Amino acid sequence: MVKRSHQRKEAANWWLQQKPQVAAAIKEAEATTGHQIVVVVARLGKYHVERATHIASKNPGASLVFCVDVLQHRYELRWQSTVSLSQSVLDDTTKLFSEQKLAEAILLVAKSLPVHTPGENLPDIIDE
């Protein structure tokens, strides 16, 4: 029980350190691309792929949805069907995820998006 509590505390501290850079990256990416980008902090669990897909479906106005499980340091990226991401961008994003560089991953993916007229304004970060 003590070990689990310690893991949660470390994960919370890690997220609190990352959150300002992530928020800044989202604002910069949205301002330069016009796309809505949402980061959802949630427990993804054993079925992380399905859970991330479900979370993304709850945010249909977002071009990109980054799902972050801070306890497991697991990341999942979902994008609208109108968005096209090259394999090299996906590979580089995966590498940044493995290095726990979420803000850099957001900026990298955003740079690959075409600029378009901004749509509805969504929350940048959602804690579930």
Q: What is the structure's pLDDT at 31? A: 92
Query: Based on the structure, what is the number of domains in the chain?
Result: 1
Q: Are 59 and 65 in contact (CB under 8 A)?
A: yes
pLDDT per residue over 60-94, tens digit each? Answer: 989 999 999 998 889 999 999 888 899 999 999 99
Q: What is the structure's pLDDT at 83? A: 86
- What CATH number is associated with residue 78? 3.10.310.50
- The C-alpha atoms of residue 15 and residue 69 are separated, in whole angstroms, by 10
pLDDT per residue over 3-53, tens digit each? Answer: 778 888 888 888 899 999 999 999 999 999 999 999 999 999 999 999 999
Q: What is the structure's pLDDT at 1? A: 55
pTM for the full model? 0.87
pLDDT per residue over 98-125, tens digit each? Answer: 999 999 999 999 999 888 766 666 666 6
Q: What is the structure's pLDDT at 2? A: 61
Task: Find the domain containing 121 and state its range.
Answer: 2-127
Q: What is the structure's pLDDT at 49? A: 95
